[in-house]
Amino acid sequence: MGAELPRRPDPKKAYLELHGGSWRVTVSVPVPARRAIGATRLVHNLETDSLKQANVLKRSHVERFKRRIAAALEIVGRPGKDDMSAAIEFSKIAHDLKRNGTQEEWTDFREAVYERHAEIRWKDSRWIKVDDPEAGPTEVEQALPEQTQKAMLFSAVSYGRATPVDMMHEDYRKQLFVKERTRADDARAMRLLKDWCKREQVPALLEEIDVKRAHAFADALVDMTGLNHVTLNKYIGRLSGYWQWMLPRAPAVTQNVFAGVAVKGPKTRHDEKERAFTDGEVADLLRGPAKPNLRDLMLIGALTGARLDAIVDLKVRDTENGCLLFKPQKRETAARYVPVHPDLVEVITRRTAGKGPDDDLFPEWPPVRKAGSMRERSFKASNRFTEYRRSVGVDEVVAGKRRSLVNFHSFRRWFSTRMERAGVPGEMISAIVGHKRSSITLDVYSEGPHMRAARRAIAKLKLPPLDGSPIKEEMGLVARGLDR
């Protein structure tokens, strides 16, 4: 069954209908304004059977009716969805109708779409004088080109012939298991794509974004934003994830057009990459004048390889069975257990004493309370650590780089490297630090062979001497791929 738009009305009869041998003006009232006006359409009898006279007389009444409708909309407010959101809702209805819609349902659908189409098209229209060969000099209503374009897009989307790039974006973001900051990156990436479409006059539709345009978008990003290639590639990666998710869900998407797309930038030299702490730096940090809460954070970071935000988010219930249960982060899909290192037993015992299961292990750094903030709970703890790290001389700054090459994440890198040098298999290290590539699952419920092996592996890790004795840095291969 077809789903075509109704034929465009004869412009000579626009806003006119013949009733009882006489022409009358008729203007449809938008649904939101109908309750305020008390009618579905406004009518005025012109008391003439001449179409030529009717076209001359109708203008003042059409304008009067439009002013009345505008006033009603002003009073009630434009409720609900914008034009594109409404079109998306119509497209879902059209999808259902194509499968089992009746002729009557299609008729109602077409009329509803056309009503909104006309409302969009004739918004802010103007009247111009024309010399009609048949009717003579008269005035006709002329739509603005941009409004006509919007109306045509509205209808195309409503009938499922076009798909806005962000049509499924909110559904995609809702199912993500990521931090709010990453969700914000997704929103920013979509805004950049739509801004580029507007700049290049490319319809912001899935059907219009192919591989060539994906590369053109990437090529324009530096000029559009002034951001560095690392940040821009993060946004491209978020779009790639969205396109990949849509592959089995959106008929308009047949491939991930952003796969392999990237903004090129200078390669980072090996001596400019963020790195693990040396044993000497770990010793300087742990034996320095750190407050107890900060020293406890550093010890857990060094002896578990956990990220800072996962540590400050720990609760007392996450320390049972001689393990620490860390929430999933980055690409992790589930919480993970890490055996408590012997040197952490005193820290855990002290921090859980007299507390209930739902109490924070680190109440010194509570969650961010400001509504709408995207800062992680670890924000203040990270700042405090940075100040302390610099105060004890643990730093490495490279000209032109915003961040030091060492930070709290350097404990994680140190942990991986030291575990590798202690002879712990790479797959076990990956399981402990939460890398996706590991096939080992650490489960405390059964205390199976993997967990027992993990406890033995953790015990192999030794802190550098903290008594001031000389520290000899061990030579060894960098733990490639274990620095995420």
Q: What is 141-202 written as a DSSP string?
A: EE--HHHHHHHHHHHHHHTTS--BTTTTHHHHHHT--S-HHHHHHHHHHHHHHHHHHHHHT-
pLDDT of 142 reads 87
Q: Report residue 411 as tokens.
A: 């404990």
* Percent above pLDDT 90 for the chain: 46
pLDDT band, residue 86 (cuts 50/70/90): confident
Domain final position from 134, 159, 184: 159
Q: Is the pLDDT of residue 94 over 50?
A: yes
Are 385 and 330 contained in the same domain?
yes
* Domains held by the chain: number: 3
User: Is the residue at 370 inside a domain?
Assistant: yes
- For residue 339, the enclosing domain spans 271-460
Q: Report residue 103 as tokens.
A: 């002729």
64: Cα within 13 Å, side-chain hemisphere: 10
Residue 438 · residue 431 · CB < 8 Å: yes
Q: For residue 159, give Cα distances in angstroms to 41, 80, 108.
A: 25, 20, 13
Q: How far apart are CA 428 and CA 338, in angstroms?
A: 11
Are 335 and 406 contained in the same domain?
yes
Q: What is the pLDDT of residues 272-305, one digit of tens each?
A: 688 999 999 999 999 999 999 999 999 999 999 9
Which residues are 136's β-sheet partners? 132
- 341 closest CA partner among 310, 306, 311, 303: 303
Tell me, what CATH number does 408's domain have? 1.10.443.10
pLDDT band, residue 468 (cuts 50/70/90): confident
Q: What is the pLDDT of residues 165-193, one digit of tens each?
A: 998 999 999 898 777 888 899 999 999 99
pLDDT of 412 reads 94
User: Is the residue at 2 inside a domain?
Assistant: no
| Kind plus residue range of the DSSP H or E element containing 140 | strand 136-142
Q: How far apart are CA 407 and CA 6, in angstroms?
A: 65
What's the one-letter identity of residue 348?
A: I
Domain final position from 213, 245, 266: 266
Q: Is the pLDDT of residue 416 over 50?
A: yes
pTM of the model: 0.59
**Whole-number average pLDDT of the chain:** 86
Are 25 and 71 contained in the same domain?
yes
Rg (alpha carbons) of the chain, rounded to whole number: 33
What's the one-letter identity of residue 376?
A: E
Q: Give the residue-averaged pLDDT of 315-327.
A: 92
Are 259 and 293 contained in the same domain?
no
- 3-class SS of residue 240: helix
Are 32 and 175 contained in the same domain?
no
Residue 161 · residue 205 · CB < 8 Å: no
Q: Give the residue-averaged pLDDT of 84-110.
A: 86
The gap between the terminal CA atoms of the chain, to the nearest Å, is 55
- 230 closest CA partner among 176, 266, 187, 181: 266
* Percent above pLDDT 70 for the chain: 88
Are 293 and 441 contained in the same domain?
yes
Are 364 and 440 contained in the same domain?
yes
User: Is the residue at 472 inside a domain?
Assistant: no
Q: How far apart are CA 106 and CA 333, in angstroms?
A: 45
Are 178 and 47 contained in the same domain?
no
H helices of 201-291, where? Answer: 211-225, 229-246, 279-287
Are 329 and 419 contained in the same domain?
yes
Q: At what angle do helices 292-304 and 409-421 cross, to 10 degrees?
A: 40
Choice between 236 and 403, residue whose per-residue pLDDT is larger: 236
